[in-house]
């Protein structure tokens, strides 16, 4: 099941569409985290959700995905 959230204010003329697939079993948790963040930081839920997405992106960028060389070195 896809969940669509409109992040564009009504007065915006240029609109880009971004679809994020979040499994249904995680959707309630993501929205709960966005609401908690918005209440704690006194920001809108929209801004909190965007901060969660940005924070996740930067966290994954910093993660090291390098694989070790498993092949034997030439002798």
Q: Where are the alpha helices (DSSP H) in the chain?
A: 24-41, 45-62
Average pLDDT estimate for 24-32: 88
Between CA 24 and CA 32 the distance in angstroms is 13
Between CA 35 and CA 51 the distance in angstroms is 12
Residues 6+ apart with CB under 8 A from 45: 34, 35, 38
Tens digit of each residue's pLDDT (9 = 90 or more) over 7-18? 677 777 777 777
Tens digit of each residue's pLDDT (9 = 90 or more) over 42-60? 999 888 988 888 888 888 7
């Amino acid at each position: 099941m896809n969940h669509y959230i409109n992040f564009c204010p009504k007065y915006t003329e240029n609109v880009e569409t971004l679809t994020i697939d979040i499994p249904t079993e995680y959707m309630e948790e993501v929205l709960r985290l966005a609401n908690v963040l918005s209440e704690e930081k006194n920001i809108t839920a929209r801004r909190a959700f965007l901060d969660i997405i940005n924070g996740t992106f930067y966290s994954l960028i910093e993660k090291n995905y390098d694989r070790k060389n498993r092949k034997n070195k030439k002798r």
